Chains A and B, each alone.
Chain A
């Protein structure tokens, strides 16, 4: 089946630093999404990318959908303590053929720790 490889597995950074994480896949996805999960909670959608090459920002977060449709990265600028959590990439094969956007393949996650 489809698999996503997410790296790094964990990051320990100082408050104010920028963060970058990425995801690669052996197969093509039509949509890439980035989620954040905090302890005891469900994933919360941060950014959704729909077109190859698309670069999208949401506040201090920026994500790009790779041209090959097999990779994506997420950058967080000027990190703050509340950025702590697990960040997941997810791919969807949703298309006009009817595959749903809600059926996702998730990466293994990047655990982010921010030291004040």
Chain B
């Protein structure tokens, strides 16, 4: 049973480009959570999605960031016009429902140059 799969593991983008991070939840999981981790800090909640719906986006920056979890395919976190401050590790977690713990993927390390 494969765990939460994130790709790419490492992503380098120039300032102003777009970054697309993908997350495939564990089999049977329909709830996805995105977190951001800056160097030497804890993870910060960004957004909670259930298939085709955004449930809670209270941690998402107001501009340039968006997330989706389509009926088919992985969840996507999109960052438009990246800036150096977007450099971080982005983690996805999934759960089977809202009443169970979520399991984390290995993360995507985004570097903006």
Q: B-contacting residues of A (Cβ < 8 Å)?
A: 4, 6, 33, 35, 40-45, 48, 88, 90, 94, 98-109
Contacts and interface: CB of A to CB of B under 8 A. Distances in A.
B95 to A, nearest CB: 5
Contacts of B102: 101-102, 104
Interface string B1-18: 000100000000000000
Contacts of A42: 4, 91, 93, 104-107
Contacts of A98: 98
Interface string B34-56: 01000011111100100000011
B22 interface: no
18 contacts: A33-B101, A40-B107, A42-B105, A42-B106, A45-B103, A88-B42, A90-B42, A90-B43, A99-B98, A100-B95, A101-B98, A101-B99, A101-B101, A103-B48, A104-B102, A106-B35, A106-B42, A109-B42
A78 B33 CA distance: 35
A94 B98 CA distance: 8
A45 B101 contact: yes
A104 B34 CA distance: 11
Contacts of B56: 100, 103
A114 to B, nearest CB: 20
Contacts of B42: 4, 6, 88, 90, 106-109
A21 to B, nearest CB: 13
Given A42-B107, A100-B31, A100-B56, A105 B101 contact: no
B43 A88 contact: yes
Q: Which residue, of B55, B56, B102, has the highest number of chain A Cβ atoms within 10 A?
A: B102
